[in-house]
Amino acid sequence: MAAPPDASAPLGFGTRAVHAGQAPDPSTGAIMTPIYQTSTYVQARPGDHQGHEYARVTNPTRTALEGNLAALEGAAHGITFASGVAAIDALCKSLRPGDHIVSTNDLYGGTYRLFRQVYEPFGLRFSFGDLTDLDAFEQMLEPTTKLVWLETPTNPLLRIYDIAGVVERTRAKSPEAVVVVDNTFASPYLQRPLEHGADLVLHSTTKYLGGHSDVVGGAILTDDEAWTEKLRFQIKATGAVPGPMDCFLVLRATKTLHLRMERHCANADAVARFLRTHPKVGRVRFPGFEDHPGHALAARQMRTPSGTPAFGGMVSFELVNDALDVAMDVMANTRVFSLAESLGGVESLVSHPASMTHGSIPADVRRAAGLPDSLIRLSVGVEDEADLIADLDRALGVA
Ligand code: PLP
């Protein structure tokens, strides 16, 4: 394709993934967007430049990535950050002391830490709850609520929240509030929150968008002009920008997002169904199970661009009797699954949320939110299904 496809034209997801935001390099014809490793741009006269003045503010590799991610989420604007947490931080910094935030109580531990340990002391006020009960959620909203924070599927319990339902209640009771969906777990291939009425979509691009465990980054996608301006101001004023090499890596990875997600979903489904049959395994959490409490909602809300319900690549399970020692043995004995934090890469990972990703949440808060000590979280990669199942079977056998 010689000319850059117009992101607003009705191109399919795969075509947008490969092309949106990018054009062959005008000076050489290079098909891949160059890594513009520069801090500044020469001006002919003061103010007479080619659209870029200083690389904290803009960089062409970053601009290409922002266009690409916006096209995948169906958003008008994309703003990228040095990490997912930096993106969340920019949102919080755009609020003011006294502002109220309602959040899920089942969320990434780093987000919880940022909310409670950094921004609560600065005067932001937080209410955490299980937002599956929309009436209870409505009770948590206040006239001063400025932001509603939603992860769905949640990390690590894989609860499903009703984005459209949350948006509707928020609009009715707290019209000043914006609804933000952390779409890291689903990726835009499976869920496009703006289509359900959300105002802002956030990603840790470190995960499925980056896809190869070789980069850390974050992004916010939105149609909201005022928030775009606020977030671009944050980038300029506080500077948590991704470097051009990191932007290039994410841009390269999104070209195969649709292909990878299909395999992540198929493998996760097979792994979850295998785990369910194992005598040492207790509850298995996977939204693709017909008896998962959020299954019907997930089947409506999580759909590939062609409309097929698909439930993602994440599976969590606990051991019979919440046996922490057995869980520890399983995690120490997998060979194909690597024991590591993070998720969404092509390689399968196993992790222990209570001591790793969610270790910053106090044990009593964690247990009250329903996170068992023996819970194991799997990020199911794109290897061969039979090898993944054999690996878990062996590790469970040894434990
Ligand atoms: N959101 C979710 C759901 C995550 O799992 C993570 C990290 O694990 C983040 C945000 C933070 O992203 P990052 O690690 O890129 O700062």
- φ, ψ at 377 (rounded to 5°): -110, 130
Verify whether ligand 1 is closer than 6 Å to residue 91 (CB atom). no
For residue 342, report the distance from its CA to the centre of ligand 1, in Å.
8
DSSP secondary structure, 2-35, as one string: -SPPPTTS---HHHHHHHTT----TTT--SSPP-
3-state secondary structure of 378: strand
Largest CA distance in the chain: 73
Three-state SS for 345-377 is: CCCCEEECCCCCCCCCCCHHHHHHCCCCCCCEE
DSSP secondary structure, 132-198, as one string: TSHHHHHHH--TTEEEEEEESS-TTT-----HHHHHHHHHHH-TTPEEEEE-TTT-TTT--GGGGT-
Verify whether ligand 1 is closer than 6 Å to residue 104 (CB atom). no
Verify whether ligand 1 is closer than 6 Å to residue 61 (CB atom). no
Instruction: Please report the atom of ligand 1 found closest to the CA of residue 205.
Output: 15
Mean pLDDT value across residues 39-44: 98
pTM: 0.95
Distance (Å, whole) CA 380 – CA 271: 8
Closest C-alpha to 134, from 109, 170, 98: 170
CB proximity list for 156: less than 8 A, separation 6 or greater: 106, 314, 316, 353, 357, 358, 371, 375, 377
User: Six-digit token pair at 312?
Assistant: 């993602």
CB proximity list for 277: less than 8 A, separation 6 or greater: none
3-state secondary structure of 297: helix
Residues catalogued as catalytic: 56, 108, 182, 207
Per-residue pLDDT of 181-236, as tens digits, reads 999 999 999 999 999 999 999 999 999 999 999 999 999 999 999 999 999 999 99
Q: What does the CA dihedral 156, 159, 162, 166 come to, rounded to 10 degrees?
A: -60
CB 132 within 8 A of CB 150: no
- Residue found by looking up tokens 């910094």 in the block: 93
Residue whose CA lies nearest to ligand 1 atom number 14: 84
Ligand 1, pocket-test mutation among 206, 352, 379, most atoms within 8 A of CB: 206
DSSP secondary structure, 67-122, as one string: HHHHHHHT-SEEEEESSHHHHHHHHHHTS-TT-EEEEESS--HHHHHIIIIIITTT
State percent of the chain over pLDDT 70. 98
Closest C-alpha to 357, from 345, 370, 339: 339
For residue 216, report the distance from its CA to the centre of ligand 1, in Å.
9
CB proximity list for 264: less than 8 A, separation 6 or greater: 208, 312, 313, 380, 381, 382
Helix H or strand E segment including 281: strand 281-285
CB 104 within 8 A of CB 130: yes
Cα 158–163–167 angle (5° rounding)? Answer: 145
State percent of the chain over pLDDT 90. 90
Per-residue exposure over 256-289, b if at least 16 CB sit within 10 Å of its own CB, e if not = bbbebbebbbebbbbbbebbeebebbbebbbbbb
Residue 4 pLDDT level (bands cut at 50, 70, 90): low
Closest C-alpha to 92, from 64, 115, 67: 115
Which residue would you say has higher pLDDT here, 399 or 351? 351
Amino acid at residue number 131: L
Per-residue pLDDT of 105-163, as tens digits, reads 888 999 999 999 999 999 999 999 989 999 999 999 998 899 999 999 998 999 999 99
pLDDT score recorded for residue 2: 47
Mean pLDDT value across residues 286-301: 98
